[in-house]
Amino acid sequence: MSVRHFLTLLDFSPAELDLIIKRGIELRRMQHADTIYQPFVGRTLGMIFEKSSTRTRISFEAGMGQFGGQAIFLSSKDTQLGRGEPIEDSARVISSMVDIIMIRTFGHDQIETFAKYSSVPVINALTDDYHPCQLLADMQTYYELRGSIAGKTVTWVGDGNNMCASYMTAAHQYGFQLRIAAPYGFEPAPELMQQFSHCVSLVNDVQEAALGAHLIVTDVWASMGQEGEQSTRARRFASYQVTPSLLDKADAEVLFMHCLPAHRGEEISHDMLDDPRSAVWLEAENRLYAQKALMEFLLTDKIQLS
């Protein structure tokens, strides 16, 4: 049987994604009830980080620990990957020693190459193009708070970045309509707009994009690797700040999400995260359970039955 990887949401079927969300909710319930569930004693997660992280590192490391396994943090600064050892060679060697691998890196092609040569499942923990683990947590959070997202309207405000592209794949897989309000020149790539034209549209005016929305989402104006563009972007994105008054245009049951870290005073107003419609803290916590459900799904053949 060929190894399954999770590089974008398109790697799984809608039914599988639905299963993972529901399992994530169950795993959260179990953890909150102090239930010990350790199907992966003796199993190892390799975690390769080429960019910074708070949520992703802690959620994967704590999740594997709760499962009874262990996680190894591998920074590219301290491994031979950072000194130019070919990705193909690294993938063969690392995957011969661990059971599952997550990678946070720059080029999406790098994780594709790694996955091609890996003998164990590889999870995308963020590339320049996609952040699918965050979408599992976001979709789980919406489901927990509002039920199915199918048929709803989601509004993306801001940069057409890796999170925006992940929402495009989610619109396709979970069956919602995505409106994107991005400054001119910062929209998602035309090929992506073409691929997802059945469920994604561009709306120039932010206020109009928010009308009747069931979920409003944004992200930082300059992603990791774009720090040098911060001041130019701050000027171009100035009218794309998400505020409680923008949410007033949306559906009465609207939720607000942000993958975090957030920059108050930039992409969100200072009071946005404290608004009762903001779901960001549950969204962040759910990284843990969505990824536990994901690892359990990818390691099904290794589950220890007690």
Q: Which residues bind ligand CP (CB under 6 A)?
A: 53-56, 126, 134, 259-260
Binding mask 125-154 for ligand NVA (x = CB under 6 A): -x----x-----------------------
Residue pair 193/199 in contact (Cβ under 8 Å)? The answer is no
- Give yes or no: 233 in active site: no
Give min distance, CB of 55 to ligand NVA, in A: 7
- Give yes or no: 259 in active site: yes
> Crossing angle for the helix pair 280-298 and 55-66, nearest 10 degrees?
50
Q: Which does 304 bind (CB under 5 to 8 A by kind): ligand NVA, ligand CP, none?
A: none
Q: Which does 129 bind (CB under 5 to 8 A by kind): ligand NVA, ligand CP, none?
A: none
Work out whether 124 is an interface residue with ligand NVA (CB under 6 A): no
Q: Which of 138, 164, 287, 291 is catalytic?
A: 287
Decide: helix, strand or coil at residue 146: helix
Return d(Cα 131, Cα 41) in angstroms, integer: 28
- Give yes or no: 164 in active site: no
- Backbone dihedral region for residue 151 (phi beyond 0: left; psi -120 to 50: alpha; all else: beta): left
Return d(Cα 65, Cα 2) in angstroms, integer: 27
Residue pair 202/230 in contact (Cβ under 8 Å)? The answer is no
What residue type is 286 in one-letter code? N
Work out whether 224 is an interface residue with ligand NVA (CB under 6 A): yes
Q: Which does 220 bind (CB under 5 to 8 A by kind): ligand CP, ligand NVA, none?
A: ligand NVA
Beta-ladder partners of 155 = 179, 216
Point out which span in 86-94, 175-183, 220-228, 295-303 binds ligand NVA (CB under 6 A). 220-228
Point out which span in 158-166, 185-193, 201-209, 298-306 binds ligand NVA (CB under 6 A). 158-166
Contacts with 221 (C-beta within 8 Å, 6 or more apart), sequence order: 158, 159, 230, 233, 234, 237, 240, 263, 266, 267
Q: Which of 128, 129, 219, 291 is catalytic?
A: 219
Residue 191: both structure tokens together = 């090929």
Q: Which of 260, 205, 255, 266 is nearest to 231 (CA)?
A: 266
Q: Which of 226, 219, 223, 260 is nearest to 242 (CA)?
A: 219
Q: Which does 54 bind (CB under 5 to 8 A by kind): ligand CP, ligand NVA, none?
A: ligand CP
Give min distance, CB of 109 to ligand NVA, in A: 16
Binding mask 241-280 for ligand NVA (x = CB under 6 A): ------------------x---------------------
- Give yes or no: 291 in active site: no
Nearer to ligand CP, 63 or 153 (CB): 63
Point out which span in 159-167, 184-192, 203-211, 276-284 binds ligand NVA (CB under 6 A). 159-167
Residue entry with tokens 């965050």:
134
Point out which span in 42-50, 81-89, 160-168, 267-275 binds ligand NVA (CB under 6 A). 160-168
Return d(Cα 164, Cα 170) in angstroms, integer: 10
Q: Which does 268 bind (CB under 5 to 8 A by kind): ligand NVA, ligand CP, none?
A: none
Return d(Cα 18, Cα 88) in angstroms, integer: 33
List residues with catalytic annotation: 104, 131, 134, 219, 259, 287
List of residues contacting ligand NVA (CB under 6 A): 126, 131, 161-163, 219-220, 223-224, 259
